[in-house]
Amino acid sequence: MGIGRKWVGVTVWLVLAGHPQLVSADLTAPGEALLKVQYIERFTRFVDWPPEQLGDRHPLFIVCIAGTGSVASTLHQAAAFERFKGKPLAFRWVRAGDDLGSCHLVYLSPDEDHNLSAYLASVGGRAVLTVADVPGAAGRGAIISFYRQGDRVLFEINRAAADRSGLRFSSRLLRLARLVGPEK
């Protein structure tokens, strides 16, 4: 096993063990993609959807992917072995203007930054977790966005957008995030 694979393994272990603040990620693109996919799965553990959106009548957790790139393809490949909220995953590739109401989570890749407002309008205050791989996207209305600080991959949460969505966020997740947007 090469040093790169060992580093990715240690990084993923730290995220899964609940220590993302210890991750100092001088990662290759595939390693960073894997780290972000693990973050996304972790986010779902600390967010609750209303029962009518993700109850027993909903056998699948639907992840909608907007755009392309290493995180988008790694997230799609996760369907073979991951479960979000204890449910098997189903994926939809979406475009700006599509109805996103059936999605539980929408991942927005960096190449869709120019369409961010269109995706957020499609979600329209529904219980859909938006995760953007665009620094500053949470400040523009996405619920969660990734950003880098030096060699670390971190995330920010727009608390007002989270509240409008009807999703309930664990205080444990909120403590790990940089909170952005207007105060309540």
Alpha-carbon distances, residue 71 vs 40, 131, 133, 146, 153 (angstroms): 10, 12, 9, 12, 13
Residues 24, 111: Cα–Cα separation, whole Å: 25
pLDDT confidence of residue 24: 42
Q: What is the per-residue pLDDT across 138-158, written as a single tens digit (0 to 9) for each? A: 999 999 999 999 989 999 999
pLDDT of residue 29: 66
CB count in 10 Å sphere of residue 17: 9
- Return the sign of the alpha-carbon dihedral for residues 49, 55, 57, 62: positive
Residues 66 and 94: beta-carbon distance below 8 Å: yes
Is it the case that residue 59 has pLDDT exceeding 80?
yes
**What CATH number corresponds to the domain at position 160?**
3.40.50.2300
pTM of the model: 0.83
Average pLDDT on 71-86 reads 84
Question: For residue 83, how many other CB atoms are within 10 A of its CB?
Answer: 13
- Is residue 103 pLDDT above 70, yes or no? yes
Q: What is the pLDDT of residue 160?
A: 95
* Domains identified in the chain, total number: 1
Full residue range of the structural domain in which residue 127 is found: 3-180
Q: What is the pLDDT of residue 54?
A: 86
pLDDT of residue 179: 96
pLDDT band at residue 2 under the 50/70/90 scheme: very low
pLDDT of residue 128: 97
Q: Of 24-28, 52-56, 98-102, 113-117, which range is least confident?
A: 24-28
Pick from 4, 25, 52, 26: nearest CA to 166: 52
